[in-house]
Amino acid sequence: MTLTLAPDTAPRQTAAPAHAAPGASVGEELSERQREVLDAVLKLMVAEGDGFSVAAVARAASCSKETLYKWFGDRDGLLTATVRWQASKVRMPKLPEDRLTGESLEAALTGFAASWLTVITGDLSIALNRAAVAHAGSGKSRLGEIVLTNGPFAMKRRIEPLLEAGRAAGLLDFADVTDAFRSFFGLVVADTQIRLLLGEDSHPDQAEIGNLSAQAVTKFLRLYGRG
Amino acid sequence: MTLTLAPDTAPRQTAAPAHAAPGASVGEELSERQREVLDAVLKLMVAEGDGFSVAAVARAASCSKETLYKWFGDRDGLLTATVRWQASKVRMPKLPEDRLTGESLEAALTGFAASWLTVITGDLSIALNRAAVAHAGSGKSRLGEIVLTNGPFAMKRRIEPLLEAGRAAGLLDFADVTDAFRSFFGLVVADTQIRLLLGEDSHPDQAEIGNLSAQAVTKFLRLYGRG
DNA sequence: GATGTACCGTACCGTACGGTACTGCGTCAA
DNA sequence: TTGACGCAGTACCGTACGGTACGGTACATC
């Protein structure tokens, strides 16, 4: 039996529930060949935005259009599967497991910041976010929702426990964890993402990202650190 | 003689220089009828993203396609003129003119923050930013550049003098004004804009914007305030 | 070897859209 | 009154694209 991500009987629905965690099992449901195809789509998106035709995908992936339609239902299904596939590949740094200290908290926050900046300044993330933003505009398609879930929301879900742990350990002081997250996000990302999305090509390298992260965390700790 | 924004001899170039200030004189070069047409385009963009057809514009504005092409050259010229036209309408709060005090600086910063949040959470701004982001992806067209110039860059140009003045008055303390601006932008905007662009429909009302602005400025002053 | 299946390559179809050309009408100036 | 002109309305053209159909091939299973 063929694995069909968007069968005719329920076109827009994949096997994964709507608000599932970062698409952990998406990769499992795809054959090797299908993953190759989706990687080809990712390349195309980086190269040309989401303006490419399905024929171009078939050409780039050396497969037939008919197969694409059988596997993914329609163009939107193809894009959706691609975004999910990419989302399933992103990994975040893990939290410190033993008792938090000032140093380990700062290191963990800096790690998150650097990791996040690395992701959002990457060509792939920029291309996918552009596509998602564009599709969020014209209704029709849940790309925006998916990117939102696996982007800002995923970051929030990952960081808030760290902040709470910091507070529990007497290292941080805040009343509202959402507010603290907002500040963290703002200090880290600032205008970087919107500028890149709008086409400015000032990609920071790893050294700059290191600096930006350290500075952002320093400021965050000056605002929310205890003592 | 007809006012042609994109004459055949130089299709992509308007009368205004490429990196002109926020399009101050754009409105001057447009006839009343042309402004009506562009306002119709703005409405369409809010309603449908930038997926509308030129025929739809003609229908919505009760004018002929031929006129649209004569005035604006091509679809891109129409979009560009629309973005410029909207940019020329945005006004920022003015700087305090007499000697800065702690109170007037805080008020000015809060005013800027609230004004900026009001703009970027507006349907119009969201629609235009979406279009600009999408076009920045597929090369071809300078929408991204224009929005960048009239968005983040314009804000930076307006705020940095205020920050410098605050430092000169002994109210602020920072080494790098760009860094200070980055923090200000981040604390004010945080994840608000990207979430809206990705389709989340949690538009803050004026009261919330007031709160967010005040909190952002409080944090900013805790980071950069003197005394 | 026969049958079925998965897939590639490609031809094909309908449509929607960007862009152009033509027609007719109202306005204004000579 | 007449002609020029700007523009609305619409018909038209070429093309590109989403989606489908079909022929051909490799491989597996019996």
Q: What is the CATH number of the domain that holds B163?
A: 1.10.357.10
Q: What is the pLDDT along chain B (227 residues), one digit of tens a residue?
A: 333 333 332 333 333 333 333 333 566 688 889 999 999 999 999 999 999 999 999 999 999 999 999 999 999 999 999 999 999 999 989 988 888 999 999 999 999 999 999 999 999 999 999 999 999 988 888 999 999 999 999 999 999 999 999 999 999 999 999 999 999 999 999 999 999 999 999 899 999 999 999 999 999 999 999 97
The verdict on residue A18 lying in a domain is no
The verdict on residue B39 lying in a domain is yes
Q: What is the pLDDT of residues B30-47, one digit of tens each?
A: 888 999 999 999 999 999
Residue type, A218: T
Indicate whether A211 and A116 sit together in one domain.
yes
The answer to whether A137 contacts B198, with C-beta atoms less than 8 Å apart, is no
Cα A51 to Cα A110, A171, B151, distances in angstroms: 36, 48, 25
- The helix or strand, by DSSP H or E, that contains position A113, with its residue range, turns out to be helix A102-120
Indicate whether A134 and A217 sit together in one domain.
yes
A179/B contact by beta carbon, under 8 A: yes
Indicate whether B200 and B147 sit together in one domain.
yes
The answer to whether B186 contacts A182, with C-beta atoms less than 8 Å apart, is no
Indicate whether A108 and A165 sit together in one domain.
yes
Contact B184, A220 (CB under 8 A): no
Indicate whether A57 and A119 sit together in one domain.
no
Closest by alpha carbon to B84, among B5, B160, B140? B5
> How far B15 CA sits from the closest chain A CA (Å)?
23
The verdict on residue B37 lying in a domain is yes
A131/B contact by beta carbon, under 8 A: yes
The verdict on residue B8 lying in a domain is no
pTM of the model as a whole:
0.89
Indicate whether A205 and A133 sit together in one domain.
yes
Domain count, chain A: 2
Sign, Cα dihedral of A36, A38, A39, A40: positive
Contact A138, A132 (CB under 8 A): no
CB of A8 nearer than 7 A to strand D? no
CA dihedral defined by A188, A191, A194, A196, rounded to 10 degrees? -90
Indicate whether B178 and B204 sit together in one domain.
yes
CA dihedral defined by A171, A175, A176, A180, rounded to 10 degrees? -40
Angle between helix axes B143-150 and B123-137 (nearest 10 degrees) is: 140
Mean pLDDT of A86-115: 94
The verdict on residue B77 lying in a domain is yes
| Domain that includes residue A162, residue range | 102-224
A76/B contact by beta carbon, under 8 A: no
Size of interface A-B (CB pairs under 8 A): 136
The verdict on residue B120 lying in a domain is yes
> How far A1 CA sits from the closest chain B CA (Å)?
36
Q: What is the pLDDT of residues B70-119, one digit of tens each?
A: 999 999 999 999 999 999 999 989 988 888 999 999 999 999 999 999 99
B54 CA from D14 C1′ (Å): 17
**CATH code of residue B34:** 1.10.10.60
